[in-house]
Chains A and B, each alone.
Chain A
Amino acid sequence: MAVLQFALLGLGLGGAYALLALGLVTIYRGTGVLNFSQGAVAMICAYVFFALRDGLRLSTAGAALLAAAFAVVLGLAFYLLVMRQLRNSPVLARIIATLALLLLLQGLAMLLFDVQTRTPVSVVPATPVDLLGIAIPMDRLILAGVAVVLAVALSLVSRRTRIGLAVRAISDSEKGASLSGLSPVLIGALTWAVGFVLAAVAGVMLSPIAGLDAKALTLLVVPVFAAALIARFTSFGVAVAAGLGLGMVESALQLVTDAEGAWYTWLWTGPGRSQALPALVVIIAMIFSGRLLPARGEVVRGRLPISPPPRYRVAGPIIALAAGLAFIFSVRPSWLSAGVVTLAGVMIALSAVLVTGFIGQISLAQVAFAGTGGMLTALLSSAGLPFLLVLPLSGLVAALLGLLAGLPSLRVRGPSLALVTLSAAYICQVAVFSDGRLLGGQGYNRVASPALFGLELGGTGFAVVTLVIVIVTGSLVAALRVSTFGRRALAVRENEAAAAAAGIDIKRFKLAAFTLSAFVAGVGGSLLGYQANVFAFERFTIFESLHVIAMAYIGGIGMVSGALFAGLGASGGLFSQLLATWGADSYQLVIAGGALLLAVQLHPDGMAATLHTIRERRGRRSSPAPAAAPPDDGKDRSAPAEPSVPVK
């Protein structure tokens, strides 16, 4: 079949990407936020629409109006109650707030609606039409058409109406726009409402094609971001063209990406090769262009959470060891397993503390590094290598991947780097971890039981070893923080130009951070493999990555104790086990999402950081001393109150 014909078949895929990307661009233009929950909003609005149309038997028009109203209310509520409060918060806090909304909406969908995939009747005709010799269902063509029409309409509104001009003014200079009498809050609320209505349109049109369930549209996050990125989160027309283009190319690629081939064709044959394309586009575009997210003239410059020097560097590990041993030797095996999963989660979160908390590089690939460690563990342990060798080797291979993944950080920062690392993690998920050929001819993923000096480690023994490894790693990370490396890391984090002027080799520093953090994450993944005796490739998804960074952030991503909080909240960890014991595990997503939303507002720097701040204030009140040198906690106290030039 001709390439063109196959490309046309991708209009359905492309239409999905295009429609969702329009909402992303709208929200970014109005408020500068990367909305990871766009797919989830589309999903919940679709559920509402089809419940009204098919459940309550309302007319299509009536159901559409009510669903649109729901989207408007949801958008306004989310902006006014959450995002507006986070305007002065670190950029990562705003990303995490949208992740929290994603979890909350998924959880609500599973509780309120039938979670099984449904295929509702389309709102537009779906009979096949013949186009250049192939049959394409009409609804795909209509979908693409709607995306184009919406893009044109939004572009016209943006250029020709006062509201559109106001949005552009706010984007260029928030302070200037405020001085002119424009309300950033009003504009923000409007763009979120419109963005969510666009998501609703996408959800209603896509559900008959993609299926309607709690996960369907949320999983399109990477290709949708790719389309918006190509449009620089600015141009509606380019976003739609990019979305349609990506879908068409992905479809056309199926002509060459066969299911099997000789080993030297593995780059383009095998599972997930065509799905990895949008992620590859993101990475290449970022590396070559250096920056695709336009700068915004915000009043408050984005910053990262504080990273105070760790206290109790001696007492902390001792307490942790004592508490851990007490736990290990007193609980039932199911709780012991949950405890080991928690410890492995702490390791992975420590890697996030290293690279994001200390050095300020927002990496969403930590779980992918862990997955690499897990995969190597399955291969090496099956080859008969001992536990003590497999653990560091797995970490080393993950470290190599970390070095590669760190290369884009030399060109991009902040949310741009977040997108690049997320794309790298996505490629690992769809094209590496699920490729059975990489696990040996049988796709075998078992991990031999760990043994120390010839003695097989039982559940308790392995738990003790894991506890010791995690405590040692945590202590080392804490020691790094107060070392010269740590001080230089904070310097790089706060102001790269100043750090470079002070003689720090920024490039080597960043690469070292990625490499070291990937090593730690790789060891965490290896421990997970030994705990389950299997490389569970489905555990190492981009959503797990987002989950880890969110939990680490809430705990305090600049602090070792933040990693502890993330471990507790790991999938299959102690918190999950507690919910299962109470019979409340079906509420896990709702609880996690709701708690994250609250926590990110109450503790925008993380809970551990809030405790640190309270302790500092108490300390100052109880012993008012003459002005001392500014504390070494990573806060940028030299930053002026006036808005500064937007930083890359």
Chain B
Amino acid sequence: MSTRIRPKVLMAGTAVLALVLAGCGGGDSAGTSAGTGGLKGDPIKLGSILTITNPAWSNGSVKTVNEAWAAHINGDLGGIGGRPVVVESCDDHGDPAKTSQCLNNLIDSGVVALVNNSSLAFGANALPAMEKAGIVNIGGWPVTADEYRSPYNFPATPGAAGSYPGLAVYFAATGAKKLAVAYSNTPSGQLVGQALKKQWETLGGTGYFMTEFDAAAADFTPTISKIASERPDAVILAVGEGAAPRMFQAVKNTGLAAKVGVSSTAGTQKVFQAAGDAAEGILYAFASVPADYDSEDARTYRDVLKKYAPGLDLTGQTAVAASSMQYAYDTLSAVKGELTKESVLATLQEGKPWKGLLTHGTDPKNAPAEMPQVTNPYMLILEYRNGSFVPATIQDPGNLSQYIDIQGDLAWIAGNPPKS
């Protein structure tokens, strides 16, 4: 070999060796949960892909709940079959490349399932790879259409797009005839607009208007003014936490008189502080009961998080996260034989209903036609008034009462009537 080529070969070889050593070695960048509760067995590894460092949406609280509930499972419930549960969370920054990277690294680290996936980028970018790897996701907050259809995704609540059908039913049941919808300018957002249009016609609505917005737009006033010019009776804003304050302010500034509904992801203290009185009267679709609700589930929820995550602000998102972790625990505990990704999938595919925690129970027989993986399409509609949430009532739902399931003093509303 010529002397000129040797240094280049050496350099290439060194670079490859370095990458191979890094690639073969262990170590992961994800945060792992502490608190194995003194359990000695091989840990059961679960992964969680979360968007945390992103302007539009932060699920740092979900990561906290993952770790806290794992500590509760290990410390108070004895783990699963005597083995501690460990949740490795990965922040994908809402970035398509990073979300795939998170998934690949979690798979490499040997997780038997994902739990609580709550990511802006996952559904559109890494879901096919998750399916190809044969790994399921339990619970979480689905965002894209594919997450609602994937046979490997098992949300216990309706998630983002799944919230809006329930809101539409509420508006129809309270007399609205014309509905306006604003959604983000993404393919998933467009599907939300189209799906709601079909649903509104089914519900007997006589007018429908939809428009898109760019979440990064410098000013939402033109979009909201366009909606206001249509004079709708009700408006659904498919907006996240990041853009919600400016949307609410635009609603207030334009004097839009219609009732406005959003999903619970926009129901956080940050939004209320930023929006000020512009958040008054906004309707929220929650997948879970309020944190201060008087029930055994809610008490368990409050106690666990007080013990393992004191100081955590309890929101709709933390409630769904706790519910998802409990769903994962109940599912994994029901697995017969060795706990592998295949046995977890098989257990979930049995399609047994789950009673829920803080949420309505699941009913696999009554999944919505366009969201076959959502076996709990029920939401609670709450209105934000004077710093707290109050239930939004329906005086007389008429022929829409089939969409409503009254449990105690709670009126759970689904976006589709039950099949049975």
> How far apart are the CA atoms of A442 and B275 in the complex, in Å?
35
Would A443 and B190 be within 8 Å (CB), given that A116-B242, A332-B108, A337-B104 are in contact? yes
Would A117 and B23 be within 8 Å (CB), given that A9-B221, A254-B222 are in contact? no
Q: Are B186 and A434 in contact (CB under 8 A)?
A: yes
B219 at the interface (CB under 8 A from A): yes
Which of A339, A437, A582 is within 8 Å of B190, CB to CB?
A437
Q: Are B53 and A319 in contact (CB under 8 A)?
A: no
Tell me which residues across on chain B come within 8 A of A515, comparing CB atoms.
none
Would A576 and B97 be within 8 Å (CB), given that A135-B253, A271-B212, A537-B187 are in contact? yes
Q: Are B242 and A213 in contact (CB under 8 A)?
A: yes
Tell me which residues across on chain B come within 8 A of A128, comparing CB atoms.
253-255
Q: Are B218 and A12 in contact (CB under 8 A)?
A: yes
> How far apart are the CA atoms of A3 and B242 in the complex, in Å?
30
Which of B28, B194, B243 is within 8 Å of A117, CB to CB?
B243
B8 at the interface (CB under 8 A from A): yes
> How far apart are the CA atoms of A117 and B58 in the complex, in Å?
10
Q: Which of B17-48 contact A (CB under 8 A)?
A: 19-20, 22-25, 27-29
A129 nearest in chain B by CB position = B253
- B contact set with A: CB distance below 8 Å: 5, 8-9, 12-13, 15-16, 19-20, 22-25, 27-29, 53-56, 58, 91, 95-98, 100-101, 104-105, 107-108, 121, 124-129, 132, 145-146, 185-191, 193-194, 210-212, 214, 216-219, 221-223, 225-226, 229, 241-243, 245-246, 249, 253-255, 270, 274-275
Tell me which residues across on chain B come within 8 A of A119, comparing CB atoms.
245-246, 249, 274-275
Q: Number of contacting residues on A, CB 8 A?
A: 93
Would A135 and B254 be within 8 Å (CB), given that A434-B187, A442-B191, A445-B187 are in contact? yes
Would A140 and B219 be within 8 Å (CB), given that A271-B212, A534-B124, A583-B29 are in contact? yes
Q: Are A209 and B9 in contact (CB under 8 A)?
A: no
Tell me which residues across on chain A come within 8 A of B22, comparing CB atoms.
335, 577-578, 581
Distance (Å) between the CB of B395 and the closest chain A CB? 32
Q: Are B19 and A335 in contact (CB under 8 A)?
A: yes
Distance (Å) between the CB of A553 and the closest chain B CB? 20
A585 nearest in chain B by CB position = B29
Distance (Å) between the CB of A200 and the closest chain B CB? 17
> How far apart are the CA atoms of A88 and B411 in the complex, in Å?
71
Which of B53, B125, B214 is within 8 Å of A110, CB to CB?
B53
> How far apart are the CA atoms of A436 and B2 in the complex, in Å?
55
| Pairs A-B, 3 closest by C-beta atoms | A572-B97, A436-B187, A335-B23
Tell me which residues across on chain B come within 8 A of A449, comparing CB atoms.
132
Q: Are B98 and A572 in contact (CB under 8 A)?
A: yes
A404 at the interface (CB under 8 A from B): no
Tell me which residues across on chain B come within 8 A of A12, comparing CB atoms.
218-219, 221
Task: Give 1 or 0 for each of A242-282: 1 = CB within 8 Å of chain B CB.
Answer: 00000000110011001110000000000110010000000
Tell me which residues across on chain B come within 8 A of A214, comparing CB atoms.
55
Which of B19, B25, B124, B242 is within 8 Å of A536, CB to CB?
B124
Question: A55-63, A231-239, A323-331: which lies at the B interface?
Answer: A323-331
> How far apart are the CA atoms of A326 and B97 in the complex, in Å?
24
> How far apart are the CA atoms of A213 and B243 in the complex, in Å?
11
> How far apart are the CA atoms of A538 and B98 in the complex, in Å?
12
> How far apart are the CA atoms of A251 and B229 in the complex, in Å?
14
> How far apart are the CA atoms of A583 and B29 in the complex, in Å?
4
Distance (Å) between the CB of A492 and the closest chain B CB? 31
A312 at the interface (CB under 8 A from B): yes
> How far apart are the CA atoms of A437 and B145 in the complex, in Å?
14
Would A210 and B255 be within 8 Å (CB), given that A116-B270, A534-B127 are in contact? no
A433 nearest in chain B by CB position = B187
Q: Are A116 and B58 in contact (CB under 8 A)?
A: yes
Tell me which residues across on chain A come within 8 A of B275, comparing CB atoms.
119
Tell me which residues across on chain B come within 8 A of A534, comparing CB atoms.
124-129
Distance (Å) between the CB of B245 and the closest chain A CB? 4
Question: A215-223, A294-302, A474-482, A597-605: which lies at the B interface?
Answer: A215-223
Tell me which residues across on chain B come within 8 A of A323, comparing CB atoms.
12-13, 15-16
> How far apart are the CA atoms of A259 and B243 in the complex, in Å?
20
Distance (Å) between the CB of A202 and the closest chain B CB? 11
- A contact set with B: CB distance below 8 Å: 1, 6, 9-10, 12-13, 16, 110, 115-120, 126, 128, 134-137, 140, 206, 209-211, 213-216, 219-220, 250-251, 254-255, 258-260, 271-272, 275, 312, 315, 319-320, 323, 326-327, 330-339, 341, 430, 434-437, 439, 442-443, 445-447, 449, 532-534, 536-539, 570-572, 574, 576-586
Q: Are A209 and B218 in contact (CB under 8 A)?
A: yes
Q: Are A580 and B222 in contact (CB under 8 A)?
A: no
Looking at B91, B128, B187, B217, which has the most chain A CB atoms within 10 Å of its CB? B187
Q: Are B101 and A216 in contact (CB under 8 A)?
A: no
Tell me which residues across on chain B come within 8 A of A581, comparing CB atoms.
22, 25, 27-29, 105
Known A-B contacts: A275-B217, A581-B29. Give 19 more (CB < 8 A): A12-B221, A117-B243, A119-B246, A214-B55, A216-B55, A254-B226, A260-B194, A332-B23, A335-B22, A341-B97, A434-B185, A439-B187, A532-B125, A532-B129, A534-B125, A534-B126, A538-B121, A539-B96, A577-B22
A9 nearest in chain B by CB position = B222
Q: Are A10 and B12 in contact (CB under 8 A)?
A: no
B255 nearest in chain A by CB position = A135
A447 nearest in chain B by CB position = B128
B52 nearest in chain A by CB position = A115
Q: Are A6 and B222 in contact (CB under 8 A)?
A: yes
Tell me which residues across on chain A come within 8 A of B127, comparing CB atoms.
534
> How far apart are the CA atoms of A522 and B56 in the complex, in Å?
31
Tell me which residues across on chain A come within 8 A of B270, comparing CB atoms.
116, 118
Q: Are B20 and A16 in contact (CB under 8 A)?
A: no
22 A-B residue contacts at CB 8 Å?
A13-B218, A116-B242, A134-B254, A271-B185, A271-B190, A319-B8, A319-B12, A323-B13, A323-B15, A327-B19, A330-B20, A330-B23, A330-B24, A331-B19, A334-B107, A335-B22, A436-B186, A537-B187, A538-B96, A539-B96, A577-B23, A579-B29
Distance (Å) between the CB of B51 and the closest chain A CB? 11
Tell me which residues across on chain B come within 8 A of A582, comparing CB atoms.
27, 29
> How far apart are the CA atoms of A320 and B226 in the complex, in Å?
57
> How far apart are the CA atoms of A563 and B126 in the complex, in Å?
26
Tell me which residues across on chain B come within 8 A of A312, comparing CB atoms.
5, 8
Which of B53, B95, B108, B128 is within 8 Å of A532, CB to CB?
B128
Tell me which residues across on chain A come within 8 A of B246, comparing CB atoms.
119, 209-211
Q: Are A115 and B101 in contact (CB under 8 A)?
A: no
Distance (Å) between the CB of B212 and the closest chain A CB? 5
Tell me which residues across on chain A come within 8 A of B56, comparing CB atoms.
117
> How far apart are the CA atoms of A320 and B223 in the complex, in Å?
53
Tell me which residues across on chain B come within 8 A of A333, comparing CB atoms.
104, 107-108
> How far apart are the CA atoms of A525 and B29 in the complex, in Å?
27
Q: Are A532 and B100 in contact (CB under 8 A)?
A: yes
Would A275 and B24 be within 8 Å (CB), given that A12-B221, A572-B98, A581-B29 are in contact? no
Q: Are B221 and A136 in contact (CB under 8 A)?
A: yes
A272 nearest in chain B by CB position = B185
Tell me which residues across on chain B come within 8 A of A319, comparing CB atoms.
8-9, 12
Tell me which residues across on chain A come within 8 A of B187, comparing CB atoms.
434-436, 439, 443, 445, 537
Q: Are B186 and A115 in contact (CB under 8 A)?
A: no
Q: Are A332 and B24 in contact (CB under 8 A)?
A: yes
> How far apart are the CA atoms of A475 and B246 in the complex, in Å?
52
Tell me which residues across on chain B come within 8 A of A572, comparing CB atoms.
96-98, 100-101
Would A216 and B221 be within 8 Å (CB), given that A333-B104, A337-B104 are in contact? no
Which of B124, B126, B243 is within 8 Å of A211, CB to CB?
B243
Q: Are A1 and B225 in contact (CB under 8 A)?
A: yes
> How far apart are the CA atoms of A577 and B242 in the complex, in Å?
28
Distance (Å) between the CB of B63 and the closest chain A CB? 14
Q: Are A443 and B188 in contact (CB under 8 A)?
A: yes
A316 nearest in chain B by CB position = B8
Tell me which residues across on chain B come within 8 A of A272, comparing CB atoms.
185, 212, 214
Tell me which residues across on chain B come within 8 A of A436, comparing CB atoms.
186-188, 190-191
Distance (Å) between the CB of A212 and the closest chain B CB? 9
Tell me which residues across on chain B come within 8 A of A336, comparing CB atoms.
23
